[in-house]
Amino acid sequence: MNTPGFVKAVNRINWCGGFSPNIIGCAPAPGNGILVVRFTSSLEGILWAHEHGHTRGLRHRNSSTAVMAPSIANTRNVPSQVPASLQNTFGVT
Ligand SMILES: [Zn+2]
C-alpha cells in the first residue's frame, strides 16, 4: 500500500491496523496509497479526501464537521478544507 499514488477500490476491508468489520477506507499516516470501499456516491469524495488526509500525516479529529472525523457523514465541512477547484470532485455542490 505504499506505492506512490496507489489507490485501490475493494469490496470489503476488515483490517486496518486492527480487525474491524465494515471499514470503508484505510491509509497509512503518513503514506503514499489509500484503500477504499465503493461507497454512497454523495459521500465517496469525503471518504477519498479523508484517506488522502491520512497519507499526508493527518490523524482523526473529534469535530463532527471535520473531514478527518473518524466516521463519515454529509456534515463534514469539505469546502473549508478543499480548494474550490476540487470541490465538485469531493461531492460539494
Ligand atoms: Zn481515518
Distance (Å, whole) CA 50 – CA 90: 10
| Mean pLDDT of all residues in 13-21 | 93
Decide if 58 contacts 48 (C-beta within 8 A): no
CA of 28 to the centre of ligand 1 (A): 9
CA of 85 to the centre of ligand 1 (A): 24
Residue range 55-76, pLDDT digits in tens: 989 899 888 888 888 988 877 7
pTM (predicted TM-score): 0.78
pLDDT at 93: 44
Distance (Å, whole) CA 46 – CA 51: 9
Homologous superfamily (CATH) for 6-86? Collagenase (Catalytic Domain) (3.40.390.10)
The residues spanned by each domain of the chain are 6-86
